[in-house]
Amino acid sequence: MTQFDYDLFTIGAGSGGVRASRLSASFGAKVAVAEERYLGGTCVNVGCIPKKLLVYASHYGEDFEDLAGYGWTVGDRKFDWAKLIANKNKEIARLNGVYRKLLGDAGVTLFEGHAEVIDAHTVRVDDKNITAKYILVAVGSWPVVPRFAGSELAITSNEAFYLSELPKKVIIVGGGYIGVEFAGIFHGLGVRTTQLYRGELFLRGFDDDIRKTLADEMRKRGIDLKLTSEVTKIEKIGDSLRATLDDGSKLDAEQILYATGRDSKTPNLGLENAGVKLKANGAVIVDDYSKSSVDNVYAIGDCTDRMMLTPVAIAEGMALANTLFNNKPTKPNYVNVPTAIFSTPSCGTVGLTEQEARAENFKLDIYRTSFKPLKHTLTGRDERTMMKLVVDQATDKVLGCHMVGPDAGEVIQGIAIALNCGATKAQFDATIGIHPTAAEEFVTMRTKLS
């Protein structure tokens, strides 16, 4: 008989925590999970899934405009925000049920309540102490708004998914992928949209050609993109909000959404009781195997502040289960992780940016193309797709692929497989393209940029 109630106690039933728990149970471990909010975590409830549904909704406005070039005529149309949100909520509730069933079918015990670490082997949930050989922290992250005069009047992406009414005008503050995605969503739904970013160009860390191309495309669509701008104060003016910028100018809107960062959701978790070391932003410090400073306490996902992506959290969960319960020590792989931004138009990227490759002293061949998508030869829409390959001159190995254009995420997912297989530019060139598609451009680029 084990000296603990469970072999693994997971705090947080998001994508990473659920995967780690289910797989650990399949290896014979006795597992429990505690979740105080909603099953599925950020991704299912206030992240990837509802965001993508809203992105789909936002595209119909342009689709209606594009129909005329293809001979279609449509009559009066009206958008119902309340209906979209109700349908979205229904789907999220269904997914919550799916996660509950997955845990139950795997034999994982679910505790619905706040979990607090008492010591290195003990967790308290609703005044009940539970012991475990291993504790896994998978509590995710939470959006934060910097403190300044009137900052409490701003909302975050969390609240944006549940607005009772669609605002007529919105200000989005922040230049990360969440900011550009919501700018596209609101603009596509007919909202007058302004996006502010304190830097000279948004999407820091992405390839510069993605950043420049997307900024151009957003401005073409009518999004008011204000760079090198920062909000210093927010005031309530009647039914509106007024933002004062650092240059003294003022902007009015019905909603101001902050997408300037997320912190690990570790406060009130009691990790200090077990001696777990944290970063200044609350992130759990872990080694290559997701182990914290305490031998039997592990952490995965957003709360470790490594790579805040759902598939990465899932990979970390799988690696942890194999390490602890399958006698197969496994490190998560962070090389060539593909990423999509569901902006308008969308972006996809995998591997090194040109800037990263140059910083690592690679001698590079750069291939880049920009073209009007075939669809828009009849619609007349002024939109450009950009594709780019970053190639190591010495080995001909493709180091990075970057794209802005329709279905960029779908295209880059396949390219990521090639990069993980070490594909060379010659192998790209030897691959026959599918015509006519945008994706074929990745195997037909022959001219190097000077």
* DSSP assignment letter at 128: E
Q: How many residues does this entry show for the chain?
A: 450
Beta-carbon contacts of 394 under 8 Å, excluding residues fewer than 6 positions away, are 362, 363
Q: What is the DSSP letter of 204?
A: T
Count CA within 13 A, CB hemisphere, residue 18: 22
The residue written with tokens 């992406």 in the block is 157
H or E segment and range at residue 160? helix 157-160
Supply the Cα-derived Rg of the chain in whole angstroms: 24
CB 114 within 8 A of CB 32: no
Tell me what percent of the chain is helix, strand and coil, each rounded to the nearest 5.
Answer: 35, 25, 40
Name the residue type at position 151.
S
Taking the C-alpha atoms of residue 337 and residue 403, their distance in angstroms, rounded to an integer, is: 15
Which of 142, 146, 115 shows the shortest CA–CA distance to 129?
115
CA–CA separation, 177 vs 431, rounded Å?
Answer: 32
The burial of 359, by beta-carbon neighbours within 10 Å (0-12 exposed, 13-18 middle, 19 or more buried), is given as exposed
Point out the catalytic residue in the list 114, 121, 402, 435: 435
Q: How far is CA 450 from CA 121, 359, 403, 424, in A?
A: 60, 19, 20, 20
Which structure tokens are listed for 396?
A: 């001909």
Question: What sign for the dihedral angle of Cα 99, 104, 107, 109?
Answer: positive
**Of 134, 125, 131, 116, residue with least CA distance to 20:** 134
Residue 226 bridge partners (DSSP): 196
Active site residue 59: no
Rounded Cα–Cα distance for residues 47 and 199 (Å): 25
DSSP H or E run through 122:
strand 122-125
Q: Is 111 in contact with 127 (CB distance < 8 Å)? A: no
| Bridge partners of residue 14, in order along the sequence | 40
* Catalytic sites, residue numbers: 435
